[in-house]
Structure 1
Amino acid sequence: MKLQYNRPSSKWTDALPTGNGRLGAMMFGGTETERIQLNEDTLWSGGPRNGDNEHAATVLPEVRRLIGEGQYAAADLLCKQMMGPYTQSYLPMADLYVKFLHGNTMKNYRRALHLEDATSTVEYQIGNVIYTRRLFVSYPDQVAVLRLEASAPGKLHFLARLESPLRYETAFEENCLVLRGDAPEQVDPSYYETDMPLRYGKPGSANAMRFDGRLTAQLEGGQATYGHDGLRVEGATAVTLIFSAATSFNGYDRLPGTEGKDESAEAAGYLENAGKFSYEALLQRHTEDYQVLFKRVELSLGESAVPPEYPTDARIRDFGANDPGLVELLYHYGRYLMIASSRPGTQPANLQGIWNEETRAPWSSNWTLNINAEMNYWPAETCNLADCHTPLLDFIEGLSRNGHKTAETNYGAAGWTAHHNSDIWRHSSPVGDYGHGDPIWVIWPMGGVWLCQHLWEHYAFGLDKKYLREKAYPIMKGAALFCLDWLHEDKEGYLITSPSTSPEHKFKTPEGGLAGVSAASTMDLSLIWDLFTNLIEASTILEIDEPFREGLLDVRSRLHPLQIAANGRLQEWSRDFEDEDQHHRHVSHLFGVYPGRQFSWQDTPELMEAAERSLEIRGDGGTGWSLGWKVGLWARFGNGNRAWGLIANLLTLVDAGETNYHQGGGVYANLFDAHPPFQIDGNFAATSGIAELLLQSHQNVIHLLPALPDAWPSGHVKGLRARGNYEVSIQWEEGKVLNSTIVAGAGGLCKVRANAPLSVESEDGEVIAEQNQDGTIAFETVPGGRYRLFRA
């Protein structure tokens, strides 16, 4: 349950992450100088603005005409006139440097990240003195805490200072270092070039996000002096450094300069409140809060043969997925990262969670809505972290408001829409710098439709009707209203989307060129099917909107049928185009398998077979997040061994200097997912994929061990969640379910399928159900009821 190393980190992707959803810290663990790189999740460039494009509605009919005539290259070119500005960028806040004055002849070095209590530690010896450090970021107290200790009295001597890669100034107040600065008003629009300038406005500009960071010290022995060069401590035995931070962000629709919060007062308030507690009390408050979430789930995939003190980087290199303990660590690391980057009241986890050291982060470290933002939250419900899902759900609500204006302005449509990218300002329009982007990722108005799946899933797992009625349903309905206007009939009378892309993948045109836009991509149709299906169920549950529900049923039945190609694969586009790259990292056309529920071996075997053939053709390579998605897909196909092979590919050590944006995959030394470069979505996809191998519930039945790999013949898992508000634990031996415990949160009819014959008994020991001929068990549950399933 820890990541551990025998040397300091030399690169950012060797450093160890901690966070509380809002503040993020990367601890390098140096001996002469410690560097802790710091982020605050609302520190972004720019401010709210209108990115909608009135001209898009004018050219839309012509784009559709060109597509209908098969002039795909011409349609691609015209689509450039439908674009808007790029999103803004997530930015780093500061670095805390601690320079130690104890010499450099060091031995017995250890560095670790402890997942059980969310602390990062360093320990080493100089002479006869053992020096230790412990870092944590507290959610209850909203501060980062660094504890420094020496084993001998009076042996701590250091200088601490704060710096920022942004425009800043430093000052010192009574018992406090202060760093103040502002973010650029604009980051020049390039996803790949990192040397382009930041555009700063004048200090105090309406569009400039301000930030404030503060550092203070609690000493046990010694003296502390605050000055222009930083905080100097001499002769201490133990020191607790406390860092607080805040920005002027005051909502996605308010200018952070003139309408912003008082960031200095907020940062000072956090520091003052935290200063009321001792180090021991701060640690206890942090640990108790964190463990409420983390201890909900246990996992054992078998005995590990790796020695307990084996360094994690060497463990990845030497054993990979052959070590079940490392797979367990990867699984829990994803849960840890979610707790650390997404808590109620924060922004949702972005492309890098909350950890970013670059002023020109890859892809602006924004929310990429054609897979990555959604993938971040796949583990939230299944892995018992529904609390951590709420930042994304809140984000969707704000995005839908801006998206309403985009739908009306760009397309003359009702409802709301969002596209490929978004940022803290809830950007909803197509990006591309007004014509410089590529339509294969820009022209995709399905971002809101996909995000709505998360609104439904949060209900499906928790069964909170008030949430469904007051929050989820109205937003989902708004996305459906857009789809109803966006869909139109083709020559055969089917309803299609046009222009339509399969995100980031091109096809070969009949003339031999390449294009991105066509009509009725499989992903579009699957997303709309999913949204309509969820809304139909929601309106039935809430007993509302019957005419609207009937209309959705009719429109869903008239969607263009999904097609199977001549080679047996599920077509990615409505026509049997040849792929630009048959091994492409995106597998968008397989949404109906996972994370959707449109396909199943029971109800749509032909489509499942075609989808499986598509995944076989795609192969087992890809970027880190792509490998993670494929784990979940093979789990849904029931092929655990193929999924395990992808986990093995993911648990491949990547050099931190590798920056190939579209190939590779694997993990860095700190287990961060490597696209490369770093993207956190692959971590979350791996965690959710491992859960899908052990438990599935998307087809109205709780399926125990639906795709258990042969590599995990014995083990147990406790605390996973299934749709219907059930908590599930499973123990297995020789690849078969031995027993399971299901706790019913809401009650109702529970159906279970397992790979071994089971019986069910209630809490009082009465056998209430046995397996049916179809391999399922059905039994009535009561709220709070606990039911034991055991091998018959």
Structure 2
Amino acid sequence: MKLNYQTSAKTWTEALPIGNGRLGAMIFGGVELERLQLNEDTLWSGSPKDFNNPEAKKYLPEIRKLIFEGKYEEADHIAKNMMGPYTQSYLPFGDLLIKFAHDGNEKNFRRSLDLQDGIARVQYDIDDVTYTREMFSSFEDQVIVIHLRANKPGKINFTAKLESLLQTVIEKSNEELILRGICPENVDPGYFRDNENPIIYEQEGNGNSLTFEGRLAVQKDGGVSYLDDEGLTVLNATTVTLFFSAATSFNGFDKSPRKEGKDPSVTVMKHLYEAKKSTFETLRETHIKDYRSLFDRVELDLGPSLVTNEIMTDQWIEQYGASDPKLVELLFHFGRYLMITSSRPGTQPANLQGIWNDMIQPPWSSNYTLNINAQMNYWPVETCNLAECHQPFLNYIEELAHNGEKTVQTNYGLRGWTAHHNADIWRQSAPVGAYGHGDPVWTIWPMAGAWLSQHLWEHFAFSRDKQFLRNKAYPIMKKAALFCMDWLIEDEKGYLVTAPSTSPEHKFVTEDGKMAAVSMATTMDLSLIWDLFTSCIEATKELNNDIEFRQELEEKRSKLFPLQVGQYGQLQEWYKDWDDQELNHRHVSHLFGVFPGRQFTEKETPELFKAAKHSLMRRGDEGTGWSLAWKISLWARFKDGNRALGLITNLLQLVTDENSTNYQRGGVYSNLFDAHPPFQIDGNFGFVAGVAELLLQSHTKEIHLLPALPDAWPNGHVRGLRARGGFEIALQWENKKLKQVEIHSLQGERCVLKTDVNVEVKVGEKVVEIEKIGYGAISFATVAGVYYTILPIKAATV
């Protein structure tokens, strides 16, 4: 449950993350110079703007005509006229630098991140003095806490200062160090650092961007402290607690951060002064209690470690990788830790890097990439019992839908709402691409509304909260479906197709050898629409409403262009059997219907299910970090745990070059951050979802236990995973045989359990009556709040 290191971090991807959903820091752990690289989740460039493109509407008929005539390259070219501006960028707040005055050489250095209490620690000896640091970001108290301790009195001496790459000033007041700044009005997207000349990011435009403030305060035992031009100095102390509080003027996605913004000073001082009233011990206890209320919900044991002595995490990755089940567990728990520390009620949702970023021009603006990455961030929250952490994303979808209605009306003249490839804190919903400079292969994709709606339905499917479905989820889903209804047009055979249509970030090769992106009726489009229509149909049945709309959905769903099996036995990615631009492309968009969707199953759609599996085999087992994570869940749905473990092996490879952009080789950095490369947090979250999917599945309206258990994990247990229908599950297995299952019914729904083993169901000592319903499944009634024990009557291989 710990990440351990014998040296301080030399690069950002060696530093250790802490966070409370809003305030984040990367801790380097230097002996002479400690660096905490700081983030605040609302610190973005820009302000609310009209990003829609009224010119797009007039090009839509022309593009569709070219597509139906088979002139795909020309359609690509014309489609550039439908784009809007790029999204804005998530920005680094600054650095807290603590320069220590040590006499002597350090020894016995240890740096760690404890996942069980959410605290980062640094410890070392200088001569006969042991120095210890404990650092955490408290959700309850909304401050970052740095506690310094020496085991001998009067030995702590340091100067702390705040710095930023943004336009800032440093002030001193009331024994506090204050950093105040202004965000850039616009930051063009960039992929690499350009921190040498921060002046190029000076304020532009109308001065409507965010302002921000951070404050550093101190409590100490012994010694003296003072402020001067060097910063905050502490001399001859024995223990010191530093408090850092930060905020911005952000007051909503649709409000001017200057004219209608919050005063960040009010927020900062409130949290800082409240925290200073408490002792470090109280702050620490409050933080641990809050954090563990989420983290302790899930336990996982995949077997004994191959390591007999303590080993540093970077060495563990390099020497053992996925062959050690305990390292697999550590990566699983680290992903849950990242979710808890980057997405909490009231915060922004986790972006492409969670809440951690040190660049003014981060990769892909560290925005919300909606053709896979933002959704992947939230795949594990329901299955891994972190539904509260889903709330920021669900709220984001609701606000994005507000802007998405305007986009649909302006760009397409249609009903409903949608969004496209990228979004930001201002909820940009229009196609990005700097008005024609982007590539249609990723910009011309109006399907984000359909995909995002799946998260609303999944939250209901797991919680069975009909009030949420009625008041929040269904209205948003319905409007997304209205857009899809209007977006669909008939082809020459009377089938409903989408046009223009792309398979995100992947091009096809036409019969004459040319490459293009824009066509019609890609498999992903149709699968997303099928999923959305199906969820809306089921929602109307749950709510007993909108019968006429349900009938319209059923009719249009039945007329969707039928998905095809191609010449290689693969599920076609496009409506024609074109060859791939890149056979091993990182995106597997056409397999959405397998995972995270539910359209293709072995029982209901065997031919398409088989073709989808063949497509995945053709894609291969290499790829970026997040691509490997997606494939783990896909192989879990195909019930091939050993193939999934092979992908876990590829993912648990050490990447040492943080500037690498080799998209064919993902992995993890030494701090376990996912390497796209560069760093993207979606691979961490996707991995967690994949491991859960190997152990438990419920997408077919029945709970399937150990559907894809790898041979390398013959013994183990898991507790706290959740299944659709409102069930929480603990299960234990030995020699790949189910030993015992406990099912906690949260809502009193009927439980359908898929099992090839004869079982009995008990409440206490009482045996519950079960109904065998064929194809290896049983059904039994449950009562809310009651635990049911499932015991195999005789052992059998699961």
- The two structures have a TM-score, normalised by structure 2, of 0.98
Residue 509 of structure 1 and its aligned partner are, at CA, apart by 1.6
- Residue 776 of structure 1 pairs with residue 777 of structure 2: yes
Could you list the per-position Cα deviations for residues 539-586 of structure 1 after superposition, in whole angstroms to 9, with x for gaps in the alignment?
A: 110011000000000000000000100110000001001100010000
Q: Structure 2 counterpart of 1:132, which letter?
A: T
Residue 654 of structure 1 and its aligned partner are, at CA, apart by 0.2
1:325 alignment partner in structure 2:
326
Compared CA separation, residues 193 and 337, structure 1 to 2 (3 A)? closer
Q: Indicate if the aligned counterparts of 1:705 and 1:755 stay in contact, CA closer than 8 A.
A: no
1:132 alignment partner in structure 2:
132
2:582 alignment partner in structure 1:
581
Which residues of 2 match residues 354-373 of structure 1 at below 5 A? 354-373=355-374
Matched residues in 2 for 1:228 and 1:535: separation?
A: 61
2:181 alignment partner in structure 1:
181
Match of 1:240, SS? Answer: strand
1:276 alignment partner in structure 2:
277
- Residue 593 of structure 1 pairs with residue 594 of structure 2: yes
Compared CA separation, residues 525 and 257, structure 1 to 2 (3 A)? same
- Residue 171 of structure 1 pairs with residue 171 of structure 2: yes
2:49 alignment partner in structure 1:
49
Matched residues in 2 for 1:629 and 1:734: separation?
A: 28
1:14 alignment partner in structure 2:
14
Compared CA separation, residues 191 and 449, structure 1 to 2 (3 A)? farther
Matched residues in 1 for 2:118 and 2:597: separation?
A: 33
Q: Structure 2 counterpart of 1:721, which letter?
A: R
Residue 173 of structure 1 and its aligned partner are, at CA, apart by 0.6
Which piece of structure 1 moves more, 299-308 or 645-654? 299-308
Q: Indicate if the aligned counterparts of 1:11 and 1:656 stay in contact, CA closer than 8 A.
A: no
Q: Indicate if the aligned counterparts of 1:739 and 1:791 stay in contact, CA closer than 8 A.
A: yes
1:237 alignment partner in structure 2:
238
Matched residues in 2 for 1:764 and 1:612: separation?
A: 43
Matched residues in 1 for 2:756 and 2:221: separation?
A: 59
Which piece of structure 1 moves more, 743-752 or 8-17? 743-752
Residue 259 of structure 1 and its aligned partner are, at CA, apart by 1.5
Match of 2:675, SS? Answer: coil
Q: Indicate if the aligned counterparts of 1:42 and 1:247 stay in contact, CA closer than 8 A.
A: yes
Matched residues in 2 for 1:160 and 1:240: separation?
A: 12
Q: Structure 1 counterpart of 2:179, which letter?
A: L
Matched residues in 2 for 1:193 and 1:90: separation?
A: 14
Q: Indicate if the aligned counterparts of 1:623 and 1:663 stay in contact, CA closer than 8 A.
A: yes
Residue 762 of structure 1 and its aligned partner are, at CA, apart by 1.6
Match of 2:137, SS? Answer: strand
2:717 alignment partner in structure 1:
716
Q: Structure 2 counterpart of 1:511, which letter?
A: D
Matched residues in 1 for 2:56 and 2:309: separation?
A: 60
Matched residues in 2 for 1:203 and 1:56: separation?
A: 27
Which residues of 2 match residues 600-619 of structure 1 at below 5 A? 600-619=601-620
Matched residues in 1 for 2:163 and 2:568: separation?
A: 58
Q: Indicate if the aligned counterparts of 1:32 and 1:104 stay in contact, CA closer than 8 A.
A: no
- Residue 666 of structure 1 pairs with residue 660 of structure 2: no
Could you list the per-position Cα deviations for residues 321-370 of structure 1 after superposition, in whole angstroms to 9, with x for gaps in the alignment?
A: 00000000011111000000000000000000000000000000000000
Q: Structure 1 counterpart of 2:422, which letter?
A: N
Residue 175 of structure 1 and its aligned partner are, at CA, apart by 1.7
Matched residues in 2 for 1:17 and 1:517: separation?
A: 40
- Residue 79 of structure 1 pairs with residue 79 of structure 2: yes
Residue 257 of structure 1 and its aligned partner are, at CA, apart by 1.6
Matched residues in 2 for 1:686 and 1:367: separation?
A: 19
Which piece of structure 1 moves more, 283-292 or 507-516? 507-516
Matched residues in 2 for 1:446 and 1:143: separation?
A: 38
Residue 758 of structure 1 and its aligned partner are, at CA, apart by 2.0
Which piece of structure 1 moves more, 189-198 or 428-437? 189-198
Residue 661 of structure 1 and its aligned partner are, at CA, apart by 5.4
1:382 alignment partner in structure 2:
383
Which residues of 2 match residues 477-516 of structure 1 at below 5 A? 477-516=478-517
Match of 1:54, SS? Answer: coil
1:766 alignment partner in structure 2:
767
2:116 alignment partner in structure 1:
116
Matched residues in 2 for 1:249 and 1:280: separation?
A: 32
Match of 2:769, SS? Answer: strand
Could you list the per-position Cα deviations for residues 721-759 of structure 1 after superposition, in whole angstroms to 9, with x for gaps in the alignment?
A: 000010001100111211100000111211111353322
Matched residues in 2 for 1:258 and 1:540: separation?
A: 45
Q: Indicate if the aligned counterparts of 1:35 and 1:95 stay in contact, CA closer than 8 A.
A: yes
1:571 alignment partner in structure 2:
572
Q: Indicate if the aligned counterparts of 2:658 and 2:677 stay in contact, CA closer than 8 A.
A: no
Residue 205 of structure 1 and its aligned partner are, at CA, apart by 5.3
Q: Indicate if the aligned counterparts of 2:189 and 2:364 stay in contact, CA closer than 8 A.
A: no
Q: Indicate if the aligned counterparts of 2:165 and 2:198 stay in contact, CA closer than 8 A.
A: no
Q: Structure 2 counterpart of 1:29, which letter?
A: G
Could you list the per-position Cα deviations for residues 215-272 of structure 1 after superposition, in whole angstroms to 9, with x for gaps in the alignment?
A: 0011011111122211100000000000000000010001112211000121111101
Residue 778 of structure 1 and its aligned partner are, at CA, apart by 1.1
Could you list the per-position Cα deviations for residues 14-55 of structure 1 after superposition, in whole angstroms to 9, with x for gaps in the alignment?
A: 000000000011000000000000000000000000111111
- The two structures have a TM-score, normalised by structure 1, of 0.99
Q: Indicate if the aligned counterparts of 2:89 and 2:189 stay in contact, CA closer than 8 A.
A: no
Matched residues in 2 for 1:481 and 1:763: separation?
A: 49
Q: Indicate if the aligned counterparts of 2:193 and 2:360 stay in contact, CA closer than 8 A.
A: no
- Residue 157 of structure 1 pairs with residue 157 of structure 2: yes
Q: Structure 1 counterpart of 2:14, which letter?
A: D
Q: Indicate if the aligned counterparts of 1:706 and 1:754 stay in contact, CA closer than 8 A.
A: no
Match of 2:781, SS? Answer: strand
Matched residues in 2 for 1:649 and 1:198: separation?
A: 41
Matched residues in 2 for 1:530 and 1:284: separation?
A: 44
Which piece of structure 1 moves more, 221-230 or 58-67? 221-230
Matched residues in 2 for 1:668 and 1:634: separation?
A: 24
2:447 alignment partner in structure 1:
446
Compared CA separation, residues 197 and 418, structure 1 to 2 (3 A)? farther
Matched residues in 2 for 1:104 and 1:347: separation?
A: 45
Q: Indicate if the aligned counterparts of 1:121 and 1:135 stay in contact, CA closer than 8 A.
A: yes
Match of 2:750, SS? Answer: strand
Residue 768 of structure 1 and its aligned partner are, at CA, apart by 2.9
Matched residues in 1 for 2:406 and 2:639: separation?
A: 43
Matched residues in 1 for 2:194 and 2:170: separation?
A: 26
Match of 1:125, SS? Answer: strand
Q: Structure 2 counterpart of 1:627, which letter?
A: L
Matched residues in 2 for 1:325 and 1:331: separation?
A: 10
Matched residues in 2 for 1:411 and 1:192: separation?
A: 35
Which piece of structure 1 moves more, 95-104 or 537-546? 95-104
Q: Structure 1 counterpart of 2:248, which letter?
A: T
Match of 2:770, SS? Answer: strand
**Which ranges of structure 1 fall in alignment gaps of 5 or more residues?**
none
Residue 511 of structure 1 and its aligned partner are, at CA, apart by 2.1
1:652 alignment partner in structure 2:
653
Could you list the per-position Cα deviations for residues 251-308 of structure 1 after superposition, in whole angstroms to 9, with x for gaps in the alignment?
A: 0001112211000121111101111100000001101001000000000000112135
Matched residues in 1 for 2:297 and 2:620: separation?
A: 35
Residue 767 of structure 1 and its aligned partner are, at CA, apart by 4.3
Q: Structure 1 counterpart of 2:474, which letter?
A: Y
Compared CA separation, residues 614 and 474, structure 1 to 2 (3 A)? same
Match of 2:699, SS? Answer: coil
2:796 alignment partner in structure 1:
none
Residue 192 of structure 1 and its aligned partner are, at CA, apart by 5.9
1:66 alignment partner in structure 2:
66
Compared CA separation, residues 771 and 308, structure 1 to 2 (3 A)? farther
Residue 664 of structure 1 and its aligned partner are, at CA, apart by 1.4
Q: Indicate if the aligned counterparts of 2:302 and 2:716 stay in contact, CA closer than 8 A.
A: yes
Matched residues in 2 for 1:189 and 1:608: separation?
A: 39
Match of 1:781, SS? Answer: coil
Match of 2:123, SS? Answer: strand
Matched residues in 2 for 1:544 and 1:145: separation?
A: 51
Which residues of 2 match residues 76-115 of structure 1 at below 5 A? 76-103=76-103, 105-115=105-115
Compared CA separation, residues 497 and 770, structure 1 to 2 (3 A)? closer
Residue 203 of structure 1 and its aligned partner are, at CA, apart by 9.6
Q: Indicate if the aligned counterparts of 1:192 and 1:363 stay in contact, CA closer than 8 A.
A: no
Which residues of 2 match residues 682-697 of structure 1 at below 5 A? 682-697=683-698
Residue 658 of structure 1 and its aligned partner are, at CA, apart by 3.8
Q: Structure 2 counterpart of 1:554, which letter?
A: E
Q: Indicate if the aligned counterparts of 1:737 and 1:754 stay in contact, CA closer than 8 A.
A: no
Could you list the per-position Cα deviations for residues 74-118 of structure 1 after superposition, in whole angstroms to 9, with x for gaps in the alignment?
A: 000000000000000000001000001013511101110000000
Q: Structure 2 counterpart of 1:626, which letter?
A: S
Matched residues in 1 for 2:15 and 2:269: separation?
A: 28
**Percent identity, aligned pairs only?**
58
